[in-house]
Structure 1
């Protein structure tokens, strides 16, 4: 039987070519769909950014949208000032722990300044290889890939978008650069509108607050109330977490937080900062405000639970004529203050200087009235009361010789002696009334009473005060300054930590030593707590050859004893 004919094999090449074509079509469809999705996401981002006039919200949405569009793990928007430095930084993707490891935000140096300087995008597969690789703070998370795009508002570079580390581990490509550049271009218009709205809103708020302060000043409201209103308005206008009005003490050696608004306000009241050698003191002396990148660098005695970093120090008054300092701070993960806020608040805080000037003038006028009344009373006591008492005593003295009964004579003589003692006491009162208020306030006794009075509003009770011995005559000036500093720190600790409703202050000068005691009925000193304040008080005592002790008080609470020699 013959074999069937062999059929020729079908060629495979056309089949393989068809598969390749189908695969390419699918890939192009996938690219088209991906491009459509990204364009759709871009349009959604542009609409979202342009749908709000609040500048902070616009910047935050812009940063998040850029990270989402290119699948970036980390993103940041650095707002630049007129010097090209980053004045505000909006982060995305960072954890709180990562930020706590960094001393400050990136400040727009080195690699981060490239988009601003060159006004064009920068895309790198390994940023460490770039010759300008620096400008990242210590503790910054490790990053490799990089995409930086400038944001221009008309001809001005508003800031830069920084993106690093794609989630899939890949590098940023041309499409990523193009879509972020398109987002930045569209965002420029939204940012310009938001800035105009923000400036008009700030001007309106400033005008309203200034009018309110002027109204309160003219109506005779107390300076403390006006300053409290100023601190509240300033904190709200610049979106700060804390605001404190720091005024000089009677000796102009310390700035004391007399008024505080916001987080930790109660703990901040009474905080004292030396004028000499500190940034706060420099602002107070020069009358020029400053922005502070990290308030922790100023070593201010903030409670440890409040992590204030970005800060503003604004003088209350004109240059070389400041009456105090307005301190504002933001919590650790907040963006720095806008530089424009410093100029605005400097003008606004001038209102506070007017409040203090008017309060001082009103106080001087009231003191003049008191002094005039005291002078009139002293003259009446001297010219009328003493003369009448003296005449009565002379009449009784002439009558004694006419009394035959010895017992009656003795009674009259005792009455004459009582009149002499009364005359001496009235004369002493006259001398006290004629003493000037300035002399009383300059004395150590007066300064101690003023310090206690200033601290009283931070406590839930008014402290009792006992002053014994020749304090003004026997205590040297340098020791007096130390005792005031220790007293101020002790009362501040009671206000912040003791939860006491009874406080007593005792100052004694006797047997060649000065003894300061501050007792309270509070919760006592915790085992685990800050000891820097107590250490400073101990060092002051040791430096003067004395000693310092803190012990539980009988019946509950704490007793602080600070003793130094004065003989």
Structure 2
């Protein structure tokens, strides 16, 4: 039943009751009949009942709207929580947490800060709604001062209608975008705060027609973000455990590599060294035996070289996992993120995977490994993009960062030996290495190979 019909029925019910009262007055109490009085009473009854039922209807509609809004928020919260469970990669989970929270409450900006080991400062900041150019203009990441420090220190949410009017609004970096309303909640796991989730500038619904305005966050917004933060904390912790398991697997593989070298190659080289030393002492007393010993050492060295080549081939096959360049690049990105706070985006055109030979794929991975190593050691970057694209019958690998860059014309370039090795690998594949960089302008390394 719609509210308009409910209002009409309310007025009719009031008229029926009034008509019954008229009958009682004239038939039982024999009061005099007056058309004027009846008209006035009818008008008052209709007006009063209409006003009353209009008020009742407005209350019911408001409560129904609140119930619908609450239901929509809970459904969105449920969908966002489910979406988090589909990811295991830590970097993807962190970005999805801040993206989903911003969409959940229709905020213009969102940020997720992950604290360092001692919980004193933000070690990694993931943003949403902030363009890369705007982020690059800031002289440093926001720290745990002022408003941002409240969830960390006090372990509770904070909601501010106007940031500029709050005395705790300090510590924002230069060129930080202007923000009005603010909502922040802590990320807590096992009683320990390991991060914070922030939203700023709640936007009105498109249906409201108030474009360009920002609203204050409500108590309901705060409760919803707290519930989502609890789910996000679990998802982040699971992703961290997944990364730790991967790190353990890497360490185990390195240990196996070391054991294989020690038990095989190193023992063989040690034996050849003893053989050469013995031959050196026989040069004067038994030159024939010395010659045989040297010949045997040469045979042994050739066998060691063969064993090393076989081992390297096996490593390449294991690393490529079916000669899939994308999986190899994603593995390199995960390895680097294990030891840094870099955000690395890998984007590979799937049509390029079948165009490359096993050797091209292996060498491209080595070039990417060297490029990422240079970023970690020299660039002081926060973002790295790895792209593989077809290029007029060729394939191009690009590794680009937003670091401090360098003057390509100057001597003593950062990672000089690494750049030389990358260029040499590209040359061996009949490819071309292009390096473009500028001070404070990031670095772009592109390798183009024939497919």
CA offset digits 1:523-558 (Å, max 9, x no partner)? xxxxx9979xxxxxxxxxxxxxxxxxxxxxxxxxxx
Kept in 1, the 8 Å contact 2:183–2:200? The answer is yes
In 2, Cα distance between equivalents of 1:90 and 1:263: 24
Once residues 371 and 95 of structure 2 are traced to their aligned partners in structure 1, the CA distance between those partners, rounded to angstroms, is 28
The question of whether the paired residues in 1 share the 8 Å contact of 2:370 and 2:422 is answered with no
* Residue 96 to residue 170, structure 1, CA distance change in 2 (3 Å): same
CA contact (8 A) 1:80 1:86 kept: yes
Mapped to 2, the partners of 1:159 and 1:97 lie a distance apart of 25
Question: CA 1:294–1:529 in structure 2 vs 1: closer, same or farther (change >3 Å)?
Answer: closer
Give the structure 1 partner of residue 76 of structure 2. 41
Residue of structure 2 aligned with 1:202, choices 247, 260, 263: 247
Match of 1:78 among 113, 119, 122: 113
Give SS of 2:179's match: coil
From 403, 406, 412, the equivalent of 1:309 is 403
- SS of alignment partner, residue 130 of structure 2: coil
Checking the alignment, whether the CA contact within 8 Å between 2:381 and 2:402 is kept in structure 1 is no
CA 1:164/1:455 → structure 2, altered by over 3 Å: closer, same or farther?
A: closer
Query: Counterpart in 1 of 2:230?
Result: 185
- C-alpha distance in structure 2 between counterparts of 1:529 and 1:44, whole Å: 43
Separation of aligned partners in 2, 1:111 and 1:180: 17
Inter-partner Cα distance in structure 2 for 1:173 and 1:461: 57
TM superposition shift of 1:131? 2.8
Paired position in structure 2 for 1:96: 132
> Deviation of residue 186 (structure 1)?
2.6
Cα distance change of structure 1 residues 133 and 39 upon mapping to structure 2, 3 Å threshold: same
2:87 to 24, 30, 52: 52
Cα distance in 2 for residues equivalent to 1:150 and 1:265: 36
* 1:120 matched to 2:156: yes
CA distance in 2, matches of 1:104, 1:530: 20
Partners of 1:184 and 1:456 lie apart in 2 by 46
- The answer for the alignment partner of 1:8 in structure 2 is 39
Distance 1:24 1:158, change over 3 A: same
User: Secondary structure of 1:151's match?
Assistant: strand
- Using the alignment, how far apart are the partners of 1:146 and 1:118 within structure 2? 17
Q: Secondary structure at the match of 2:196?
A: strand
2:19 corresponds to: none
Contact 1:147 1:163 (C-alpha < 8 Å) held by counterparts = yes
Q: 2:147 matched to which residue of 1?
A: 111
Q: Write the distance in 2 (CA, Å) between the matches of 1:530 and 1:292.
A: 14
The whole-number CA distance in structure 2 between the counterparts of 1:529 and 1:45 is 40
- Give, in angstroms, the shift of residue 216 of structure 1: 5.3
* 1:386-425 → structure 2 map (5 Å cutoff): none
Shift of 1:158: 1.7
Task: Considering fraction of residues, name the structure with more helix.
Answer: 2
2:368 to 228, 245, 262: 262
Match of 1:141 among 177, 185, 190: 177
Deviations 1:81-132 (A, max 9, x none): 1242111111111112212322333233332122111110111011223333
Give the CA deviation at 1:180.
0.4
Q: Distance in 1 between matches of 2:124 and 2:112?
A: 8
CA distance in 1: counterparts of 2:224 and 2:88, whole angstroms: 23
Q: 1:207: Cα distance to partner?
A: 1.6
Change (3 A) 1:152 1:530: closer
Query: Is the partner of 2:164 in helix, strand or coil?
Result: helix
Deviation of the 1:172 alpha carbon: 0.5
User: Structure 2 CA distance, aligned partners of 1:461 and 1:80?
Assistant: 40
Matched, 1:25 2:70: no
Q: What does the per-residue CA deviation read over 1:496-530, in whole Å, with 9 as the maximum and x for residues that have no partner? A: 57xxxxxxxxxxxxxxxxxxxxxxxxxxxxxx997
Contact 2:182 2:200 in 1 (8 A): yes
C-alpha distance in 2, partners of 1:195/1:310? Answer: 29
Q: Which residue matches 2:101?
A: 66
Partners of 2:176 and 2:369 in 1: how far apart? 28
- Aligned pairs, how many? 285
How much has 1:456 moved relative to structure 2? 8.4
Which residue does 2:446 correspond to in 1?
A: none
Greater shift in the superposed pair: 75-84 or 132-141: 132-141
CA deviations on 1:346-392 (whole Å, 9 max, x unpaired) are xxxxxxxxxxxxxxxxxxxxxxxxxxxxxxxxxxxxxxxxxxxxxxx
Aligned-pair distance for 1:36? 0.8
Q: 2:187–2:194: 8 Å Cα contact kept in structure 1?
A: yes
Structure 2: any 5+ residue segments left out of the alignment? 1-33, 205-213, 266-303, 320-327, 346-364, 384-398, 406-413, 440-451
* Normalised TM-score (structure 1): 0.43
Contact 2:381 2:401 (8 Å CA) reproduced = no
Shift of 1:264: 8.8
State the shift of 1:71 in Å: 1.1
The answer to whether the 8 A contact 1:264-1:306 is kept is: no
1 CA distance for matches of 2:250 and 2:35? 100
Higher strand share: 1
